[in-house]
Amino acid sequence: MLRLTDVHTHYGMSHVLQGVSLEVGAGEVVGLFGRNGVGKTTLIKTVAGWVKPSRGRIDFDGSDLGVSSSDEICRRGIGLVPEDRRIFPGLSVEENLLLGAMQAPRRARVATRRKLDDLYARFPRLGERRAQLGTTLSGGEQQMLAMARVLMGEPRLLLIDEPGEGLAPKIVDEVFALIESLRAQGIPIVLVEQNVRRALDVVTRFYALERGQIVYEGAAASAGQRSELLRRLAI
């Protein structure tokens, strides 16, 4: 589904990604792990088109994303749930969700309504608060709203950045249960998460980044490779 080949990304003079190559197969949940500041968020923002690569190639479903804009990449089926959630101020929960439907502009209105009802069934608290301003929700509810908004567009690939950041353990369990359910549906996911031990229970494979480069990769099902990852991250 996704292949990065020798991708470099700069912020001004800062060389953040330094030749990253990785793959995400259909139905896989792939973890990106590493200490703060090593380029994990920059990597997924580069895939989503929020940041432009300075060199390298990004292929999605066999087609080069090239210099596509973030809007074009979104419409092609890549959805990003950012770390800061980006809940739109002044808009209700339902209005935030309907903005997510812009990822599927050709979908009929009745189908959009059906998708909205499906998401309310999956996220009952959002249904209860559909008329409430999105920015007045709790942190956990805002995280659910950010994920539901992306799901409104029925993405073919999900990029999720630090979904457990700042949330109570019980809410983190709910977030990871949702990721597990998406994995069961076969939606490929790239997951950035500081809680590596928790994330290893939901990912298929993983990559470790250090100073903008992939330094290790492995399979979550391998106890030896999991242990080596934790050793490298000093966890």
29-33 and 189-192 beta bridge pairing: parallel
pLDDT at 59 > cutoff 90: yes
Q: What is the mean pLDDT of the chain?
A: 93
8 Å CB contact between 93 and 131:
yes
Could you tell me what percent of the chain has a pLDDT over 70? 100
Q: What is the CATH number of domain 1-77+156-235?
A: 3.40.50.300
Distance between CA atoms of 149 and 160, rounded to whole angstroms? 13
> DSSP state, 88?
P
Closest by alpha carbon to 171, among 128, 142, 136? 142
Q: Which contacts (CB < 8 Å, 24+ apart) does range 82-85 have?
A: 82/146, 82/161, 83/41, 83/161, 83/162, 83/165, 83/192, 85/142, 85/143, 85/145, 85/146
Helix, strand or coil, per DSSP, at residue 149: helix
pLDDT at 105 > cutoff 70: no
**pLDDT band at residue 141, thresholds of 50, 70 and 90?**
very high
**pLDDT band at residue 168, thresholds of 50, 70 and 90?**
confident
Could you tell me what percent of the chain has a pLDDT over 90? 81
8 Å CB contact between 27 and 4:
no
Average pLDDT over residues 64-75: 89
The sign of the CA dihedral 126, 121, 153, 84 is positive
The ranges assigned to domains in the chain are 1-77+156-235, 87-153
pLDDT at 29 > cutoff 70: yes
pLDDT, tens digit, for every residue of 199-218? 999 999 999 999 999 999 99
Distance between CA atoms of 177 and 62, rounded to whole angstroms? 30
Phi (first) and psi of residue 145, to 5 degrees: -65, -45
8 Å CB contact between 91 and 99:
yes
Burial 3-30 (b: 16+ CB within 10 A, else e): bbeebbbbeeeeebbbebebebeeebbb
Structure-block tokens of residue 126: 């959002």
pLDDT at 166 > cutoff 90: no
pLDDT of residue 19: 97
**pLDDT band at residue 138, thresholds of 50, 70 and 90?**
very high
Closest by alpha carbon to 107, among 118, 115, 95? 115
Position with higher pLDDT, 114 vs 109: 114
